[in-house]
Chains A and B, each alone.
Chain A
């Protein structure tokens, strides 16, 4: 059969060739328990943490910071216990990242308290004079928008109460981001 004379047949064969690896390594695992862990142990995001996570995404923090600690001795020594499937089980999207211009943040909530982050986000150079991280002082001037908070919690299926959301009214984007950062590394029930 001369498939190079039959463009439609050719395309169908190409699609089939593409789908074999696609299904076996990417889409069938969606339904396999070892890749989709139980979410029972995970503490759902609170509205403020979720808004903070969305600011982390908006500002592209994942371009410089990973959130996955590798099971290697020098890595666990630097960052803490290595990442497990359960840690990110409810994360949509995942934020594992691909480049460490700055350090990994998967366990950063165990390392620094909120007060540290407020100072560091305002002026990274005040703590590390040679740091190349931009200042995010302006996040403290931006009032947190809660317009879609409830919708977001619903879409992601996290529990919340109306009071949870009204409590955010007077907070800033900085408060939300810091609330997210101090949660990192504490996502599982003890």
Chain B
């Protein structure tokens, strides 16, 4: 036993379970706010109004679901890929407790209406400090384990993990610098257009370093592992990584097309957004290339199913995103439901499918068992796939419809639909379909949670060494 590495999995398990728990909470809130958009009487009390719940939905699924999934999977990956035990297992457990306390406080503060109003960065300054502390604790373990690794070469997944560590830190701190008034209230140090520019530099790079580099780190590990095939191209992964990490930071202002932000910043952002197709598709091509000659696995290997559909939605997402950045298309769809349709293809398609593949691969291994049911995993796959497609497609249709109604002019230059409400109400049937899509997705997620819970429950008791 002397030479065998003893991996530490307690925090890996704890963060995985936390992630699933907060995932269920975040999805439930999502279904409620989707209903509220058609049935305003469901805004039951001040703390259950749409305006307060929507940030709870987004924060729960970004900080409550995706981040702990990353903590879990990354604590697993750095040990496996570095062939070294987690550097500070006690610290990792402390991080787990502090994390869950922070998420509860975050939810309570958002229910109470304490928010900075910046999208995906709503938490007030004391909780921002807690988030930064959590990130430092997490990073210390990640970097410490990588530094002490016994496998000299760092595999692609570790690059994306290191990029996540530094990227999230830079954008989160940069956007949250504020002037406190009280414990529960602060004002941004940036004003007006600068505040918007900093906010969307953060907003789009939260997408980069939470919804892109996290699943990519998982993707590059799980795909070769589950398919049994070596990665298609190492060189492509190098070019893809560095161009992605370089280019993403220039693109935030594509959220501010046609705002008062100076044109040159918008144009630079649009140009870099289009460039980003290249590094994004480097990963897609690497995924498809790895499957060369093994495509039958997409039928009979559920892990490959999740990971390949996941990277496919990433591919679609990273073409759709840049096209939305272009001025002519932005003018039509910006501020409509097209955009939530876009976001949810990324989150429900790419991010959740990839994390699911990661958990399905990792959890049976660390619990020393097999997955409880491959059948249920397949059911989970089809439910989340159909749910996501119903969600996104209905939102794209109604988004284009509303955008077209907003811009419709009579021959004398007057508005065809002068009253805003005329353009709003046709959304309702689509929003009901969206709720249906969300419910189907949610059922799929519950199947996932059940499958994982049964897997853990039926695992053999750990042997004392």
- Contact across chains for A8 and B147 when beta carbons are under 8 A apart: yes
What's the interface size class on A, roughly? Answer: 35 or more
Task: From B2-10, B265-273, B313-321, give the one contacting chain A.
Answer: B265-273
Give the residues from 55 to 109 in chain A that come closer than 8 angstroms, CB to CB, to chain B: 57-64, 66, 68, 70-75, 77-78, 83-85, 87-104
Minimal Cβ-Cβ distance residue in A for B208 = A18
- Contact across chains for B193 and A85 when beta carbons are under 8 A apart: yes
Given the interface contacts A26-B201, A134-B49, does A99 sit within 8 Å of B339 by beta carbon? Answer: yes
Classify the secondary structure of B's interface with A: helix
Given the interface contacts A22-B249, A83-B260, A132-B38, does A94 sit within 8 Å of B170 by beta carbon? Answer: no
Given the interface contacts A60-B115, A70-B259, does A26 sit within 8 Å of B252 by beta carbon? Answer: yes
Q: Does B52 contact A (CB under 8 A)?
A: yes
Give the residues from 178 to 226 in chain B that come closer than 8 angstroms, CB to CB, to chain A: 179, 181-182, 185, 187-199, 201
Given the interface contacts A26-B197, A72-B331, A85-B192, does A152 sit within 8 Å of B260 by beta carbon? Answer: no
- Contact across chains for B188 and A93 when beta carbons are under 8 A apart: yes
Bits for A116-157, please: 1 = Cβ < 8 Å to B, else 0: 000000001100101111110010000000001001100110
Given the interface contacts A15-B166, A73-B409, does A148 sit within 8 Å of B185 by beta carbon? Answer: yes
Minimal Cβ-Cβ distance residue in B for A68 = B259
- Contact across chains for B117 and A35 when beta carbons are under 8 A apart: no
Bits for B49-69, please: 1 = Cβ < 8 Å to A, else 0: 111101100000000000000
Give the residues from 18 to 39 in chain A that come closer than 8 angstroms, CB to CB, to chain B: 18-22, 24-27, 29-30, 34-37
Task: From B284-292, B381-389, B418-426, B435-443, give the one contacting chain A.
Answer: B418-426
The residue that B193 contacts in the complex, of A20, A78, A88, A155, with Cβ under 8 A, is A88
Q: Does A1 contact B (CB under 8 A)?
A: no
Of B251, B265, B413, the most chain A CB neighbours within 10 A belong to: B265
Task: From B20-28, B240-248, B301-309, B355-363, give the one contacting chain A.
Answer: B240-248
Residues of A within 8 A of B182 (CB): 148, 151
- Contact across chains for A66 and B335 when beta carbons are under 8 A apart: yes
Given the interface contacts A29-B194, A60-B51, A72-B258, does A95 sit within 8 Å of B46 by beta carbon? Answer: no
Q: Whole-angstrom distance between the alpha carbons of A7 and B190 in the complex?
A: 34
Q: Whole-angstrom distance between the alpha carbons of A71 and B242 in the complex?
A: 36
Q: Does A162 contact B (CB under 8 A)?
A: no
- Contact across chains for A26 and B242 when beta carbons are under 8 A apart: no
- Contact across chains for B335 and A100 when beta carbons are under 8 A apart: yes
Distance (whole angstroms) from the CB of A29 to the closest CB of chain B: 6
Q: Whole-angstrom distance between the alpha carbons of A128 and B423 in the complex?
A: 13
The residue that B40 contacts in the complex, of A29, A75, A132, with Cβ under 8 A, is A132
Residues of A within 8 A of B335 (CB): 66, 97-100, 104
Bits for B323-363, please: 1 = Cβ < 8 Å to A, else 0: 00000000100111001100000000000000000000000
- Contact across chains for B143 and A25 when beta carbons are under 8 A apart: no
- Contact across chains for B159 and A68 when beta carbons are under 8 A apart: no
Residues of A within 8 A of B259 (CB): 68, 70, 83, 96
- Contact across chains for B421 and A131 when beta carbons are under 8 A apart: yes
Residues of A within 8 A of B265 (CB): 25, 29, 35
Q: Does A14 contact B (CB under 8 A)?
A: yes
Distance (whole angstroms) from the CB of B281 to the closest CB of chain A: 19
Of B50, B147, B188, the most chain A CB neighbours within 10 A belong to: B50
Q: Whole-angstrom distance between the alpha carbons of A87 and B424 in the complex?
A: 27
- Contact across chains for A58 and B331 when beta carbons are under 8 A apart: no
Given the interface contacts A93-B118, A94-B195, A132-B37, does A60 sit within 8 Å of B52 by beta carbon? Answer: yes
Q: Does A160 contact B (CB under 8 A)?
A: no
Minimal Cβ-Cβ distance residue in B for A70 = B258
- Contact across chains for B191 and A91 when beta carbons are under 8 A apart: yes
- Contact across chains for A77 and B413 when beta carbons are under 8 A apart: yes
Bits for B159-180, please: 1 = Cβ < 8 Å to A, else 0: 1001101110010001000010
Distance (whole angstroms) from the CB of A57 to the closest CB of chain B: 4
Q: Does B43 contact A (CB under 8 A)?
A: yes
Q: Whole-angstrom distance between the alpha carbons of A90 and B413 in the complex?
A: 34
Q: Whole-angstrom distance between the alpha carbons of A103 and B116 in the complex?
A: 22
Given the interface contacts A22-B201, A59-B49, A99-B339, does A5 sit within 8 Å of B260 by beta carbon? Answer: no
Bits for B139-164, please: 1 = Cβ < 8 Å to A, else 0: 00001001100001110001100110
Distance (whole angstroms) from the CB of B201 to the closest CB of chain A: 4
- What 18 additional pairs, Cβ within 8 angstroms, besides A7-B158, A58-B114? A5-B153, A18-B166, A18-B167, A22-B249, A24-B250, A29-B265, A59-B113, A66-B335, A77-B415, A87-B192, A90-B192, A92-B195, A93-B188, A94-B191, A124-B40, A132-B38, A135-B43, A148-B185
**Nearest 3 A/B pairs, CB to CB:** A60-B51, A21-B249, A134-B43
Q: List 27 A-B contacts (CB under 8 A).
A: A4-B153, A5-B152, A7-B146, A11-B165, A18-B166, A22-B174, A26-B174, A29-B194, A34-B262, A35-B193, A59-B52, A60-B52, A61-B51, A63-B50, A63-B54, A70-B334, A72-B258, A75-B406, A90-B191, A93-B190, A94-B199, A95-B117, A96-B196, A100-B335, A134-B50, A135-B40, A148-B185
